[in-house]
Amino acid sequence: MRNLILLLVRYHPFFLFLLVQGICISLIVNFNKDQQLIFDATSNAISGWMYDFKDSFMQYRHYPKRAEALAEDNEKLFNRLEESYFNNIILKDSSDTDGNRDYFQQYFYTAAKVVNNSVSLPDNYITLNRGTNHGVAEHSGVIGTNGLVGIVVNVTGNYSRVMSLLHAQSKVSVRLKKTRYFGSLVWPVKDPRFMSLEAIPVHVKVTPGDTIVTSGYSGIFPEGYDVGIVEKVEEESGSAFHKITVRLTEDLGKVGYVYVVNNIYRRDQKESEELEGNE
Amino acid sequence: MSSILLTNILRFVGLVLLQVLILNGILLGDGWLGYINFFIYPLFLFLLPHDTPHWALILLGLLVGLTVDVFYSSYGIHAAAGTFTGFMRPIVLKWQEPKGGYTPGQSPTRYRLGMTPYLRYTSIMMILHLSWFFSMKIFIVTEIRQIILRTIVAFLVSMILIILHAVAINPKN
């Protein structure tokens, strides 16, 4: 500290020069049009940290708009995925009542922006700026760019409330991509990066690094969508199931744009399942 | 002592007025002739007394630069060059110091130094001032040739004024 002060005192003209020169340069770029234009526009032609510094700020201003446009593009692409269609070939062969189409759109995607989020509570919810006016329905799945986000539990005209995966009650039907064995993904209310995969029998070989995808059984999420990667496999004595920790591919702490997946055949599926259950 | 202060105040006012009222108006034309820029106000910094503190030189450079800037509406450009010149002056003087050294209270004038050392000193200072000025004015590294060319042309024409001043007025301090 004493040395620093001595240094400042000894070389005070130099530091004063730097300070005053800095003031002058800021005057130059703020009050002179030519220099300002050079300063703003041709930053890559100029080798100087200052230009890069300012330019990076200039670019960030356009990011929100660009992200929105990208989310809309993704929405269109998602809607055209093979998994978004309902295979109707068999139906068409037997009784061709619905025209001659082989596939019907089954999953509709709506891009939405996260306007509220939490990951630190035992029961976390996310709010999206899309509601019934935009075609969002209850029990729709919500996915991010990298993985699952949650399930819509409440919809108003312009907003929807999403039960985050990080919720004590959340339970998602998933399967191991390699062996196709399915289980349920639950959150043990600990780390927002990890969830537990339950009900995988011990005879199934699971190794860290295996990919977990959606099973499509619940009718909420389309089949085969990335959820996470096996982080750790533990065996509990006396238990018939593995104790598997899964690292989520989507970082729920920083989701910005998400897609609401509405399965229009979900009611059909649920109705048939309930009939079966009554018998 | 007060006469030195008065001399320098008068020099400041006189040189700035000469610069902004007369030299500023000299426009010989476009193209190559437009490169001809006369600079006289840095002479105020060149001729300050030897015992002027280093920090004061920097701030006086800022002051004279800003004053000129106001008339040229080039906020900060002359000030940046003046600051640089003020900062460099003791370094150049030390480098050009004669065997006998300098006398505090005196100024590095032609009268004190002699014509050749005086011209060497003012040339170095003028080159420094102009190169800094045109770097700030053109402000783009890819135009380095412009910066050098303009510095050389302005240096040649400005040194005529410096010599005229040294011959015609030849102040002691």
ipTM score: 0.90
Same domain, A12 and A138: no
Is position A72 within any domain? no
Within 8 A by CB and 6+ apart from A192, the residues are A119, A120, A166, A252, A253
Same domain, A46 and A115: no
Is position A141 within any domain? yes
pLDDT score for A138:
87
Contacts of B74 in chain A (CB under 8 A): 32
Is position A230 within any domain? yes
Confidence bin at B55 (pLDDT 50/70/90): very high
pLDDT score for A279:
45
Q: Which region among A143-147, A184-188, B107-111 has the lowest average model confidence (pLDDT)?
A: A143-147
Same domain, A165 and A32: no
The partner residue sitting opposite A17, judged by closest CB among B74, B87, B137, is: B87
Please provide the average confidence, as pLDDT, over all residues in chain A: 81
For the segment B62-67, the average pLDDT, to the nearest whole number, is: 94
Same domain, A261 and A124: yes
Within 8 A by CB and 6+ apart from B2, the residues are none
pLDDT score for A18:
94
pLDDT score for B12:
94
pLDDT score for A119:
85
Contacts of A38 in chain B (CB under 8 A): 139-140
Reported as a single tens digit per residue, the pLDDT across A171-195 is 899 999 989 899 999 998 788 889 9
For the segment A273-279, the average pLDDT, to the nearest whole number, is: 62
Is position A19 within any domain? yes
SS3 assignment, position B17:
helix
Contact A16 B84 (CB under 8 A): no
For the segment A196-221, the average pLDDT, to the nearest whole number, is: 89
For the segment B55-67, the average pLDDT, to the nearest whole number, is: 94
Reported as a single tens digit per residue, the pLDDT across A57-116 is 665 666 667 777 787 778 878 877 777 777 666 555 555 555 556 677 888 888 888 888
pLDDT score for B11:
93
Q: CA B140 to CA B146: how far, in whole Å?
A: 10
Same domain, A228 and A150: yes
Contact B80 A28 (CB under 8 A): yes
pLDDT score for A88:
62
Structural domain for A133, as ranges: 107-279
Domain extent listing, chain B: 2-168
**Cα atoms in the Cβ-side hemisphere of radius 13 Å centred on A235:** 10
Same domain, A195 and A130: yes
b/e map of A233-256 (b: 16 or more CB within 10 Å)?
beeeeeeeebebbbbbbbebeebe
Count of domains for chain A: 2
pLDDT score for A150:
92
The partner residue sitting opposite B55, judged by closest CB among A12, A25, A48, is: A12
Is position A79 within any domain? no
Q: Are A197 and A244 in contact (CB under 8 A)?
A: yes
Is position A241 within any domain? yes
Which CATH number covers residue A197?
A: 2.40.10.350
Most confident range (mean pLDDT) of A58-62, A265-269, B76-80, B103-107 is B76-80
Confidence bin at A122 (pLDDT 50/70/90): confident
Q: Are B71 and B24 in contact (CB under 8 A)?
A: yes
Contact A27 B75 (CB under 8 A): yes
Contact A16 B55 (CB under 8 A): yes
Assess whether pLDDT exceeds 70 at residue A260.
yes
Q: Most B CBs within 10 Å: which of A17, A50, A52, as the mutation test of the B interface?
A: A17
The one-letter amino acid code at B147 reads: I
Q: Most A CBs within 10 Å: which of B45, B58, B92, B93, as the mutation test of the A interface?
A: B58
Contact B139 A26 (CB under 8 A): no
Residue predicted with more confidence, A219 or B134: B134
- The token duo for A183 is 């289980």
The residues on B that touch A, with CB distances below 8 Å, are 54-55, 57-59, 62, 65, 74-77, 79-80, 83-84, 86-87, 90, 136-137, 139-142
Distance from CA of B70 to the nearest CA of A (A): 11
pLDDT score for A56:
62
Q: CA B64 to CA B89: how far, in whole Å?
A: 15
For the segment B57-70, the average pLDDT, to the nearest whole number, is: 94
Q: Which of A190, A200, A151 is nearest to A168 (CA)?
A: A190
Reported as a single tens digit per residue, the pLDDT across A7-61 is 888 889 999 999 999 999 889 888 888 887 777 654 444 434 554 565 566 656 6
Distance from CA of A55 to the nearest CA of B (A): 16
Contacts of A16 in chain B (CB under 8 A): 55, 58-59
pLDDT score for A47:
38
Q: Are B126 and B84 in contact (CB under 8 A)?
A: no
Contacts of B85 in chain A (CB under 8 A): none
Which residue does chain A place closest to B132, by CA atoms?
A21
pLDDT score for A53:
60
